[in-house]
Amino acid sequence: MANPGIWRNEPAAPRAEPETGRPARAPGNAARGAVAMDPPAGNTLGIHDLLARLDSLAEENYFDGPTADATGPARLGALADPRCYRDPLNIAGWGANGLRAMLGGMIAIRETEIALGRLVESGDVVCPVHLAVGQEAIPVGVSHNLDASDRVFGGHRSHGHYLAQGGDLDQLFAEVLGKDAGCSRGMGGSMHLFAPETGFWGSVPIVGATIPVAVGAALAAKMDGKGAVAVAYFGDGAAEEGVLHEALNMASTMKLPVLFVCENNLYASHMDIAQRQPHDSTARFAHAHAVPAMVVDGNDALAVARAAGRLIGESRAGRGPGYLEAVSYRWYGHVGPDENIDVGLRRSAEELAAWKQRDPVMRLGAAMTARGDLTDADIDSMRADAAARAAQAAERALAAPYPEARALFDYVFARRAG
């Protein structure tokens, strides 16, 4: 693999504990107030409330972070420019333990994916593996606000989503290697992850397919009345699927507790968003459906955590969906551990090198070492530990048995009750 990453990791993404000065982590469902079940009220259901809320969120928080060079709501401006947002994060008000957990979570995801990439290169993995190295701040920041009672859905690039919710590392490696011990019994591979005990309700590779499923899970959550939220992760390419509009419309009209998280990494397969869309931000789609949207630097775990926390808080309080566009960039190509330099229309070595200077792991680590929360040696040891855990999980999975051939016909049909 050409890029071994910067730091190595820790086990399955720990989540930060509440500390003074950072947004309080959402309590478990038992402690949350029930989401009010508003009766349908014709075609004007809550729209004025939503529009008012949209205005206030949009005006104050459209860009969460430096705003000086943002060019407006329809375009990403500096957020899509890898020469910007390179500094260590502003960690004022955030406690060291919580930050360490978030840093460890990002390192864990990165080292896991690097180890998975090596298994692709060695030929042990035969399913397509889409890596999200460079995008680790997004799942870590979002999951910071979730717990196991929530309902998270991903797509083809979801190792990080699974791990950030606490998905089991051994089951991940076993699944990617097609082994019976995998989280989908080895039947699904990298793109069919499942860890419902953690709140990760599943990923599928059909682009955009889990967006409406998350809306259905949000409807169920609203009917349950226990304050859970659903999360739909999808990419900028998936935002071009018509189903996003149907999902946004239904979630908005029915005030469903769902967070739409668009991980805008500026590419769909090998095609740059500038070649596909008149504007590089997708948040305008949310605005069209009166869903409050926030656009953040997706390589800043704290900006993601704050924005997701605010939108999720609104959802838990019964005020409907939110849309978070987190701008980032993947270090590897569309699939597998190759960098895909000069594949497609615009991705180049220069562009990739520039984005590596906006490394989400390095920017949080640098801020913490500067404040004295950690030393470089501590970070080295976190990454060594995480790399060792990933290597051990890979070894165990390589040695584990495949499903028996006769199991091919299992899990296809549900048994009729009674």
Ligand X SMILES: Cc1ncc(C[n+]2csc(CCOP(=O)(O)OP(=O)(O)O)c2C)c(N)n1
Q: Candidates 136-144, 170-178, 222-230, 261-269 — which segment interacts with Mg ion by CB under 5 A? A: 261-269
Q: With CB cut-offs between 5 and 8 Å by kind, which of ligand X, Mg ion, none does residue 190 bind? A: none
One-letter amino acid for residue 129 of the chain: V
Angle, in degrees to the nearest 10, between helices 376-399 and 169-176: 50
| Rounded least distance, CB 332 to ligand X, Å | 11
In angstroms, the CA 161 to CA 143 distance is 8
Which CB, 162 or 233, lies closer to Mg ion? 233
**Backbone torsions φ then ψ of 103, nearest 5 degrees:** -60, -45
Told to check if 188 binds ligand X by CB under 6 A, we report no
**Backbone torsions φ then ψ of 64, nearest 5 degrees:** -95, 100
Told to check if 236 binds Mg ion by CB under 5 A, we report yes
Q: With CB cut-offs between 5 and 8 Å by kind, which of ligand X, Mg ion, none does residue 206 bind? A: ligand X
Find the binder of ligand X among 8, 15, 156, 383 (CB under 6 A): 156
Contact assessment for residue 195 and residue 165, using Cβ atoms and an 8 Å cutoff: yes
Told to check if 274 binds ligand X by CB under 6 A, we report no
Contact assessment for residue 382 and residue 107, using Cβ atoms and an 8 Å cutoff: yes
In angstroms, the CA 206 to CA 119 distance is 24
In angstroms, the CA 120 to CA 330 distance is 17
Contact assessment for residue 142 and residue 231, using Cβ atoms and an 8 Å cutoff: yes
| Rounded least distance, CB 12 to Mg ion, Å | 25
Q: Which residues pair with 268 in a beta bridge?
A: 271
Told to check if 139 binds ligand X by CB under 6 A, we report no
Told to check if 171 binds Mg ion by CB under 5 A, we report no
Instruction: Kindly identify the residues of this chain, within the stretch 12-51, that bind Mg ion according to CB under 5 A.
Output: none
**Backbone torsions φ then ψ of 307, nearest 5 degrees:** -65, -45
Give the contact letters, 98-137, x = binds to ligand X (CB under 6 A), - = no.
----------------------------------------
Q: Candidates 78-86, 166-174, 227-235, 245-253 — which segment interacts with Mg ion by CB under 5 A? A: 227-235
* Number of shown-chain residues binding ligand X (CB under 6 A): 15
Give the torsion sign (CA, 350, 240, 144, 52).
positive
Q: Which residue is nearest to ligand X (CB)?
A: 235
Find the binder of ligand X among 238, 258, 303, 387 (CB under 6 A): 238
Contact assessment for residue 175 and residue 24, using Cβ atoms and an 8 Å cutoff: no
Contact assessment for residue 146 and residue 166, using Cβ atoms and an 8 Å cutoff: no
Told to check if 135 binds Mg ion by CB under 5 A, we report no
In angstroms, the CA 84 to CA 299 distance is 11
Told to check if 235 binds Mg ion by CB under 5 A, we report yes
Which CB, 85 or 234, lies closer to ligand X? 234
| Rounded least distance, CB 236 to Mg ion, Å | 4
**Could you say which DSSP state residue 195 is in?**
B
| Rounded least distance, CB 263 to Mg ion, Å | 7
CA atoms within 13 A on the CB side of 31: 5
Find the binder of ligand X among 134, 141, 235, 257 (CB under 6 A): 235
Rule CB under 6 A: which residues touch ligand X?
Answer: 156-157, 205-207, 234-238, 265, 267-269, 334
Which residues here bind Mg ion, judged by CB under 5 A? 235-237, 265, 267-268
